[in-house]
Homo-oligomer: A and B are copies of this chain.
Amino acid sequence: MAEKVSKSKKETQGITVKKSEDMSEWYNEVVLKSGMADFAPIGGCMIIRPHGYAVWERIHAALDRMLKESGHKNAYFPMFIPERFLKKEADHFEGFNPEVAWVEDENERYAVRPTSETIIYDAYSKWLRSWRDLPILLNQWCNIVRWETKVTKIFLRTREFLWQEGHTVHATEDEADEEVMKILDFYEKLAEDYLAVPVIKGRKSEAEKFAGAYYTTAIESLMPDGKSLQMGTSHNLGQHFSKVFDIKYLDKDGKYKRVWQTSWGVSTRLIGSVIMTHGDDRGLVLPPRIAPIHVVIVPIIFDRDRKKVFDECEKLRKLLSRKWEVHFDSRDSYSAGWKFNEWEMKGVPVRIEIGPKDVAKKQAVMVLRDTGEKKSVKMKELPKAIDEELEAMQKRLLDKARKVMNSSMVEAKTYNDVKVSVAEKKMVHAFWCGDPGCEEAVKNDTAATIRVIPFEQKEKGKCIVCGKKADTKVYFARAY
């Protein structure tokens, strides 16, 4: 894919294609030109550059806080997973085996972790003794490898990516169910309140569930190109792994009992959802709560006023830095216009421009990244104005994204509706009887899959494929 961005396009400061015309090419240009990431010289790999990594640090911090406040702790398990572990749970092995990079020593073969259930559960089987040790609520932040990925779509599909994976152990099925839903709610909160990306929640079909899970739940969002993006998954693993790893505890009644488990994760893919959802033809648009820089100050100078303007900018930078991440772009070697373009490309929510006239009038010009709105604000009112604007922008981005998403979701009455709507890049809400055959028919006919089965099901109707009785309405869409 790297080759698609030609050299001359790379040299141009702005984006050379419109998001509405070629979102894939637009995406690549935004990722590269905003300094979020780069293609690596290894097939399928990415380099996360400082601007992209800083967004990941903010996502990390927000979720880590939720997890710690609810009693979860971080740990770190080896990246090398013995093949004999991976093979223990048959579905799990079958699902991941094709994606594994192997290394070996004289003793055995090891998978470079495609996910860590097996190595972690081997440890749990040794650590867990009594009911007093339950629940076990661990999480790890690490890198993950899916070796067979060869087409690089930065942040969305790469051989190596960063994620968190939670792995919990519970005494009962109910407690595991509760944990699965608690985490899914955290993921929804992370997506909507921080990334400003609207999601739908629900369960996955058997065909789409995690390899080795009892059931899988997920948050999905429909991207502006009509493809659904799986943003996070939370699995109830049932006793599938506790059986094969023999994870049990001595209960109060003196009996050994087998545990129930969950696992769940979100990855650097989330950054891709932010870029696609909010970006525009001038580049990135970052929601304030995950923006590495909230405010950039750009001086508008003419030689004789340089010192006066710079002093004012520096004063303002200090003042605003008490509450926000602020950058004063004091470079002499770039024009103000060039700087405007660069910071817009990087998606900084608020730009403050200060020129000699502004200094004289004790004011500054404030420009909002998402709307382009421009207004003069008195210096002393700036802190309050920025506070309000950042909060309004955070909300506005989610509202706007939800509107866009809703406008691409349709109800299907007939099977032909499904075909037409999927072709029109819509997400289709339709009845499904639960038969994997009907699910597969849709996939074969339209390339759309069941993205989620919402938890609350009130209506009854007829399967959109076979016409048989159905009490489940699901969302179909093509997916990343």
Residue numbers of A with Cβ under 8 A of B are 38, 40-43, 45-50, 53-54, 56-57, 73-80, 82, 85, 101-103, 105, 107, 110, 112, 119, 122-123, 126-127, 132, 138, 142-143, 145, 147, 159-160, 162, 331, 333
| In the complex, chain B residues whose CB is within 8 Å of the CB of A162 | 76
Q: Are A73 and B54 in contact (CB under 8 A)?
A: yes
Q: Are A79 and B160 in contact (CB under 8 A)?
A: yes
Q: Are B123 and A42 in contact (CB under 8 A)?
A: no
| In the complex, chain B residues whose CB is within 8 Å of the CB of A123 | 38, 40, 47
**Nearest Cβ distance between residue A169 and chain B, in whole angstroms?**
14
| In the complex, chain B residues whose CB is within 8 Å of the CB of A160 | 78-80
**With contact pairs A123-B38, A333-B132 given, residues A76 and B103 touching in the complex (Cβ less than 8 Å):** no
| In the complex, chain B residues whose CB is within 8 Å of the CB of A103 | 101-103, 112, 147
Q: Are B46 and A75 in contact (CB under 8 A)?
A: no
**Complex formed: what's the CA distance from A160 to B113 in Å?**
13
**Complex formed: what's the CA distance from A80 to B80 in Å?**
14
**Complex formed: what's the CA distance from A158 to B461 in Å?**
60
The one of B50, B77, B333 in contact with A40, judged by C-beta atoms closer than 8 angstroms, is B77
29 A-B residue pairs with Cβ-Cβ distance under 8 Å, sorted by A, are A38-B126, A40-B77, A40-B123, A42-B78, A42-B80, A42-B82, A43-B105, A43-B107, A47-B75, A47-B76, A47-B78, A48-B75, A48-B77, A50-B73, A50-B74, A50-B75, A53-B74, A53-B76, A54-B74, A78-B160, A79-B145, A80-B160, A101-B103, A102-B103, A103-B103, A103-B147, A112-B112, A132-B333, A143-B143
Which residue of chain B lies nearest to A137 when distances are taken between CB atoms in the complex?
Answer: B50
| In the complex, chain B residues whose CB is within 8 Å of the CB of A122 | 41
**Complex formed: what's the CA distance from A43 to B162 in Å?**
25
| In the complex, chain B residues whose CB is within 8 Å of the CB of A102 | 103
Q: Are A40 and B78 in contact (CB under 8 A)?
A: yes
| In the complex, chain B residues whose CB is within 8 Å of the CB of A50 | 73-75, 138
**Complex formed: what's the CA distance from A103 to B162 in Å?**
19
| In the complex, chain B residues whose CB is within 8 Å of the CB of A101 | 103
Number of this chain's copies in the assembly equals: 2
**Nearest Cβ distance between residue A317 and chain B, in whole angstroms?**
15
| In the complex, chain B residues whose CB is within 8 Å of the CB of A38 | 123, 126-127
- List the 4 closest pairs (A to B, CB-CB), nearest first: A50-B73, A48-B76, A45-B78, A101-B103
**With contact pairs A57-B74, A75-B50, A102-B103 given, residues A82 and B143 touching in the complex (Cβ less than 8 Å):** no
Which residue of chain B lies nearest to A77 when distances are taken between CB atoms in the complex?
Answer: B47
Q: Are B75 and A53 in contact (CB under 8 A)?
A: yes
**Nearest Cβ distance between residue A434 and chain B, in whole angstroms?**
40
The one of B80, B147, B159 in contact with A45, judged by C-beta atoms closer than 8 angstroms, is B80
Residue of A48, A76, A127 ringed by the most chain B CB atoms within 10 A = A76
**Nearest Cβ distance between residue A86 and chain B, in whole angstroms?**
12
Which residue of chain B lies nearest to A158 when distances are taken between CB atoms in the complex?
Answer: B78
| In the complex, chain B residues whose CB is within 8 Å of the CB of A142 | 143
| In the complex, chain B residues whose CB is within 8 Å of the CB of A145 | 79
**Nearest Cβ distance between residue A28 and chain B, in whole angstroms?**
16
Can you name 6 extra interface pairs (CB under 8 A) apart from A41-B119, A42-B78, A103-B112? A42-B80, A45-B80, A50-B138, A53-B76, A102-B103, A143-B143
**Nearest Cβ distance between residue A145 and chain B, in whole angstroms?**
7
**With contact pairs A101-B103, A103-B101 given, residues A110 and B76 touching in the complex (Cβ less than 8 Å):** no
**Nearest Cβ distance between residue A239 and chain B, in whole angstroms?**
22
| In the complex, chain B residues whose CB is within 8 Å of the CB of A159 | 78, 80
Q: Are A147 and B105 in contact (CB under 8 A)?
A: yes
**Nearest Cβ distance between residue A130 and chain B, in whole angstroms?**
9
**Complex formed: what's the CA distance from A49 to B78 in Å?**
11
**With contact pairs A75-B48, A76-B53 given, residues A82 and B132 touching in the complex (Cβ less than 8 Å):** no
Which residue of chain B lies nearest to A143 when distances are taken between CB atoms in the complex?
Answer: B79
| In the complex, chain B residues whose CB is within 8 Å of the CB of A45 | 78, 80
**Nearest Cβ distance between residue A205 and chain B, in whole angstroms?**
32
